[in-house]
């Protein structure tokens, strides 16, 4: 995980930062946590030419050594309180366990810092609402790391839906499965499902589901569910099923969308991440019969099977796009697509699943 070959690829960016750090266009950032996912965030934010990651708060000795080896100009001799008190630091990246997200995000906002916090933004709706209130009052960006909304394949599906290429959407089902990594601080639902919930909310224009039903079981640790099935029903008739597990023989990252005209499979692990199926079932009336589609006796069903194709998608690392978006939001260039409003809807669904 730690051999990214970043020294050569980021040499230009580091030199640019050192020369231009005093420029008003360069934002000074600090990161809190550099454990499992933190190195990926650090790599991408560090590589941006219009910001500088000057500090990382990380208590573990081996993680500090990793940071020194790969990012030698980043200071690790600091604590969270020092970061908050440093007026030169304009934004904080939070990559700690989920149980710390709310408290640390709140303190950073109250200290006048913009905040990027890994998913979930918080574990309660009321906590997200509080972060929303503070960030809006202080005119600060509070953004959650729903990385898949910056995935070109996810955005391609979004464009197909908006152009009505799939016809009327019927249902969506996703599978996010693996054997490990087992966690104790959150269950499989809160670990994996925020990704799929955020994607489905994004595709369906943020409409809240009419109902949320959840079934899960704990096998490895008491009280920590290893597997979950989450069922959502939306006002437009679309049904969604989300299956997550860290106790499965196969690593799967797949979402299937079924529409009246076409069907799509988004497989994040495949080379061709999007496969479009020109398949469906058309309802037709028998010739000579009256065109009463409520009378099933006069209807026949045409099974349509056309072309299958994988579109060419220009790839860009989603995490890099996400980091760039955060900086652009701070500079007021764009509106935040994964801000507190989006986070609120995702956490609301997950909290109802409890």
Same domain? For 290 and 197 the reply is yes
Which of these, 133, 77, 79, 78, lies nearest to 110 by C-alpha position? 133
Q: What is the pLDDT of residue 207?
A: 86
Q: What is the pLDDT of residue 292?
A: 55
Same domain? For 78 and 215 the reply is no
Residue at 210 is within a domain: yes
Query: What are the distances in angstroms from CA 307 to CA 261, 275, 277?
Result: 12, 10, 6
CB 30 within 8 A of CB 53: yes
CB-count exposure of residue 247 (10 Å: 0-12, 13-18, 19+): middle
**pLDDT tens track for 111-167:** 999 999 999 999 999 999 999 999 999 999 999 999 999 999 999 999 999 999 999
Q: What is the pLDDT of residue 297?
A: 60
CB 299 within 8 A of CB 283: yes
Residue at 179 is within a domain: yes
Residue at 45 is within a domain: yes
Same domain? For 300 and 182 the reply is yes
Residues 6+ apart with CB under 8 A from 250: 177
Q: Is the pLDDT of residue 180 over 50?
A: yes
Residue at 353 is within a domain: no
State which residues form the domain around 11: 6-145+318-346
Q: Is the pLDDT of residue 178 over 50?
A: yes
Full DSSP string of 187-214: -HHHHHHHHHHHHHHHHTTTPPPSEEEE
How many Å from the N-terminal Cα to the C-terminal Cα in the chain? Answer: 33
Same domain? For 188 and 220 the reply is yes
Q: What is the pLDDT of residue 301?
A: 78
CATH of the domain at 110: 3.40.50.720
Residue at 352 is within a domain: no
Q: Is the pLDDT of residue 209 over 60?
A: yes
Q: What is the pLDDT of residue 22?
A: 38
Model confidence at 188, pLDDT cuts 50, 70, 90, reads: very high
Averaged pLDDT score across all residues of the chain: 90
- The position carrying tokens 């959840």 is 214
**Assign residue 112 a region: left if phi > 0, alpha if psi is -120 to 50, beta otherwise?**
left
Tell me the mean pLDDT in the region 77-93: 96
Same domain? For 141 and 197 the reply is no
Model confidence at 282, pLDDT cuts 50, 70, 90, reads: confident
State the total domains in the chain.
2
Q: Is the pLDDT of residue 10 over 90?
A: no
CATH of the domain at 303: 3.30.360.10
Same domain? For 14 and 133 the reply is yes
Same domain? For 102 and 189 the reply is no
Q: What is the pLDDT of residue 323?
A: 98
Full DSSP string of 143-173: EEE-GGGG-HHHHHHHHHHHTTTT-SEEEEE
DSSP state of 236: T
pTM: 0.87
Q: Is the pLDDT of residue 20 over 50?
A: no
In angstroms, the CA 339 to CA 146 distance is 10
Same domain? For 304 and 329 the reply is no
Model confidence at 280, pLDDT cuts 50, 70, 90, reads: confident
Residue at 1 is within a domain: no
Q: What angle do CA 268, 270, 271 make, to 5 degrees?
A: 120
Tell me the mean pLDDT in the region 248-263: 97
Model confidence at 101, pLDDT cuts 50, 70, 90, reads: very high
Tell me the mean pLDDT in the region 12-21: 41
Residue at 220 is within a domain: yes
CB 54 within 8 A of CB 29: yes
In angstroms, the CA 66 to CA 34 distance is 9
Which of these, 252, 250, 231, 228, lies nearest to 172 by C-alpha position? 231
Same domain? For 158 and 220 the reply is yes
Q: What is the pLDDT of residue 306?
A: 86
Q: Is the pLDDT of residue 23 over 50?
A: no
Model confidence at 6, pLDDT cuts 50, 70, 90, reads: very low
**pLDDT tens track for 319-345:** 999 999 999 999 999 999 999 999 999
Same domain? For 252 and 201 the reply is yes
Specify the range with the lowest mean pLDDT, choosing from 232-236, 258-262, 268-272, 293-297.
Answer: 293-297
Same domain? For 276 and 333 the reply is no
**pLDDT tens track for 303-322:** 888 899 999 999 999 999 99
Same domain? For 141 and 155 the reply is no
Residue at 138 is within a domain: yes
Specify the range with the lowest mean pLDDT, choosing from 29-38, 115-124, 229-238, 276-285.
Answer: 276-285
């Amino acid at each position: 995980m730690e051999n990214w070959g970043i020294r050569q690829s980021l040499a230009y960016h580091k030199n640019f930062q050192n020369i231009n750090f005093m420029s008003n266009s360069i934002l000074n950032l600090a990161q809190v946590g550099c454990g499992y996912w933190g190195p990926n965030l650090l790599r991408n934010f560090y590589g941006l030419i219009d910001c500088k990651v000057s500090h990382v708060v990380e208590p573990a000795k081996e993680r500090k050594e990793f940071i020194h080896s790969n990012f030698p100009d980043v200071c690790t001799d600091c604590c969270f309180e020092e970061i908050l008190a440093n007026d030169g630091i304009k934004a904080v990246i939070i990559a700690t366990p989920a149980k710390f997200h709310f408290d640390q995000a709140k303190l950073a906002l109250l200290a006048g810092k913009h905040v990027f916090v890994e998913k979930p933004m918080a574990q309660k709706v009321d906590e997200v609402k509080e972060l929303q209130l503070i960030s809006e009052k202080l005119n600060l960006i509070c953004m959650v790391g729903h990385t898949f909304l910056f995935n070109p394949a996810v955005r391609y599906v979004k464009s197909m839906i908006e152009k009505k290429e799939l016809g009327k959407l019927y249902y969506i089902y996703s599978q996010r499965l693996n054997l490990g990594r087992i966690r104790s601080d959150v269950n499989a639902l809160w670990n994996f499902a925020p990704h799929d919930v955020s994607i489905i909310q994004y595709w369906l224009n943020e409409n809240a589901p009419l109902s949320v039903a959840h079934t899960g079981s704990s096998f490895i640790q008491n009280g920590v569910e290893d597997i979950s099935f989450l069922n959502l029903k939306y006002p437009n008739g679309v049904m969604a099923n989300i299956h997550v597990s860290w106790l499965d023989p196969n690593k799967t990252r797949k979402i299937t969308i079924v529409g009246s005209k076409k069907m799509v499979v988004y497989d994040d692990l495949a080379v061709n991440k999007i496969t479009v199926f020109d398949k469906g079932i058309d309802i037709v009336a028998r010739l000579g019969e009256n065109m009463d589609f409520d009378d099933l006796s006069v209807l026949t069903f045409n099974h349509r099977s056309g072309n299958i194709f994988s579109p060419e998608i220009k790839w860009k690392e989603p995490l890099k796009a996400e980091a760039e978006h955060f900086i652009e939001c701070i500079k007021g260039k764009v509106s935040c697509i994964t801000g507190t409003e989006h986070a609120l809807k995702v956490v609301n669904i997950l909290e109802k699943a409890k």
